[in-house]
Amino acid sequence: MQSANPGHTASWYAASANDTRIRPVLEGEVEADICIIGAGFTGISAALDLCERGYSVVVLEAERIGFGASGRNGGQIVNGYSRDLATIAGRYGTEKAAALGRMSLEGAAIIRERVSRYGIACDLVDGGFFAAFTDKQMRDMEAHKRDWEKHGHPGLEMVTRTELGTYVRTDRYAGGMIDRLGGHIHPLNLVLGEAAAVEGLGGRIFEGSRATALEEGATQTVRTQKGAVRARYVLICGNAYLAPQFPAISGRMMPVSSQVLTTEPLAADLAEALLPANYCVEDANYILDYYRRTADNRILYGGGIGYGGRDPKDIVAVIRPNMVKTFPALAGVKIDFAWSGNFALTLTRIPHMGRLGPNVYFSHGDSGHGVTTTHLLGKILGEAVAGHAERFDVWSSLPNLPFPGGKTFRVPLTVLGAWWYGLRDRLGL
């Protein structure tokens, strides 16, 4: 299917984008305080923070603003990280877990503040629900709730099976947990609105301008096919779509695809009956499903996984069966859009931040929890450039490991691990 928004995948997001303007290609040489590579959530979040601080910023995007995971994801505001705070404490110590805990709600707060400040129309709705299939998953959620509350999260509440219908009408779950500080958005419209805010503050964004080389020195030079940016600092924010000329970063992550579909618009009473509170939902399985209502009363349903960024031949055939298991009333509805997109997975499932040189910073590898963490880490990149690197130093000190087996074996070994965890889910272990 050809996208109605050229340069983007043929998703419902691209078809319903508020801003379809194509930014210019970089031609010739320009100068700025900071050059940012990548116009997804991380790069645009950093750009907006730096523009607000008064820096001159140039953003280079190889494709279109929000081309990658930032414009294709499930649109869920999920607080925290891809590993819980207890696991982080066990790996890295209580001091670092406490530091990450203090930051864990900030990404969602940044989104809400920017939506309000800049009047971004992105269908923001508050409230998220985590669904448990088994009593064991319920007990795990209760433990996570206690741990979150130790770190100051006030918005969590357990939901029993009898209370389930307030949030989602299905027979699949044993209960779950609501997060009143969660929520959902139209992610492409969010990043486009933030990009417009960057431009409103004097930032410049060039699309179709892939970085082809980085020359470090007293001044950094980022070259593209038709131009160059000379800047004091460079921020590399390419994530799963990062070009291979940065192997020190791209070699520490694996692109992983997730698949999403949207139904045709439903009758309002049917959409409301399925998800009465209009919360977004994700389940507690290792390979999870996630879904929500859209502003035009579609059900947007995602799941599946493709290690190495491999897509299935038929996305609808992969996703629709689980959607119908969850909501049998949708068995006969038409599917209007189906697409996939890659996110960057690290071996630790923790984001990877660091420096490639004294004035070259990077952040990537949000591992499936990118909507909130990218906003947080983009802001932290801005802080570091501005001379306040305390929070950056916490993140950059976390060990990041290469995948075992290198590029040849990282996919089959990860698939084997996913098979094992998927088996545990099926057996209720």
Q: 337, 261 in Cβ contact below 8 A?
A: yes
**pLDDT value, residue 345:** 85
Cα R_g (the chain), whole angstroms? 21
**pLDDT value, residue 426:** 52
Which pLDDT band holds residue 416 (cuts at 50, 70, 90)? very low
Q: What percent of the chain has pLDDT over 90?
A: 79
């406490």: which residue's tokens? Answer: 98
**pLDDT value, residue 36:** 98
Q: Say how many C-beta atoms besides its own lie within 10 A of residue 413's C-beta.
A: 14
**pLDDT value, residue 253:** 81
Each residue's pLDDT tens digit, 155-182: 999 999 999 999 999 999 999 999 999 9
- What is the 8-class DSSP label of residue 119? T
Which pLDDT band holds residue 428 (cuts at 50, 70, 90)? low
Using the Cα atoms of residue 121, residue 125, residue 130 and residue 131 in order, give the sign of their dihedral: negative
Of 248, 226, 214, nearest to 359 by C-alpha is 214
Q: How far, rounded to the nearest angstrom, does the alpha carbon of residue 167 sit from its chain's CA centroid? A: 23
> How many residues are recorded in the chain?
429
Give pTM, 2 decimals: 0.93
Cα separation, 143 vs 137, in Å, equals 10
Specify the pairing of strand 57-60 against strand 28-37.
parallel
Cα separation, 226 vs 220, in Å, equals 17
**pLDDT value, residue 241:** 84
Each residue's pLDDT tens digit, 298-331: 999 999 877 665 778 899 999 999 999 999 999 9
DSSP of 337-375, one letter per residue? EEEEEEEEE-TTSS-EEEEEETTEEEEE--TT-HHHHHH
Tell which wins on pLDDT, 410 or 163: 163
Cα separation, 71 vs 9, in Å, equals 9
Enumerate helices (H) and strands (E) in the chain, giving the number of each. 13, 17
Terminal alpha carbon distance of the chain: 41
Q: What percent of the chain has pLDDT over 70?
A: 92
Task: Please work out, in degrees rounded to the nearest 5, the angle formed at the alpha carbon of residue 136 by the alpha carbons of 134 and 140.
Answer: 120
Q: 77, 128 in Cβ contact below 8 A?
A: yes
| pLDDT average, residue stretch 226-245 | 90
Each residue's pLDDT tens digit, 273-292: 999 999 999 999 988 999 99
Of 152, 391, 134, 182, nearest to 286 by C-alpha is 134
**114 pLDDT above the threshold of 70:** yes
**pLDDT value, residue 305:** 78
**pLDDT value, residue 131:** 98
Each residue's pLDDT tens digit, 198-211: 999 999 999 999 99
> Quick one: 212 exposed, middle or buried, by C-beta within 10 A (0-12, 13-18, 19+)?
middle
Q: 264, 219 in Cβ contact below 8 A?
A: no
Cα separation, 234 vs 232, in Å, equals 7
**pLDDT value, residue 404:** 64
Q: What is the dihedral of CA 243, 104, 115, 177, to 10 degrees?
A: 110
Q: What is the mean pLDDT of the chain?
A: 91
| pLDDT average, residue stretch 378-388 | 98
**406 pLDDT above the threshold of 60:** no
Each residue's pLDDT tens digit, 334-382: 999 999 988 888 888 999 999 999 999 999 988 888 999 999 999 999 9
Q: 317, 338 in Cβ contact below 8 A?
A: no
Cα separation, 98 vs 179, in Å, equals 20
Cα separation, 336 vs 190, in Å, equals 22
Q: How far, rounded to the nearest angstrom, does the alpha carbon of residue 384 sit from its chain's CA centroid? A: 22
Task: Please work out, in degrees rounded to the nearest 5, the angle formed at the alpha carbon of residue 311 by the alpha carbons of 402 and 325.
Answer: 110
Distances (CA, A) of 286 to 57, 77, 276, 350, 417: 39, 19, 26, 16, 10
**20 pLDDT above the threshold of 80:** yes
Written as six digits, the tokens of 72 are 């294709």
**pLDDT value, residue 401:** 79
- What is the 8-class DSSP label of residue 214? E
Each residue's pLDDT tens digit, 29-69: 999 999 999 999 999 999 999 999 999 999 999 999 999 99
Helix (H) or strand (E) holding 303: strand 299-307
**pLDDT value, residue 287:** 84
Tell which wins on pLDDT, 305 or 219: 219
**pLDDT value, residue 1:** 47
Cα separation, 5 vs 106, in Å, equals 32
**Phi/psi of residue 109, each to 5°?**
-65, -40
Q: Give, to the nearest 10 degrees, the angle between helix 85-92 and helix 94-103.
A: 140
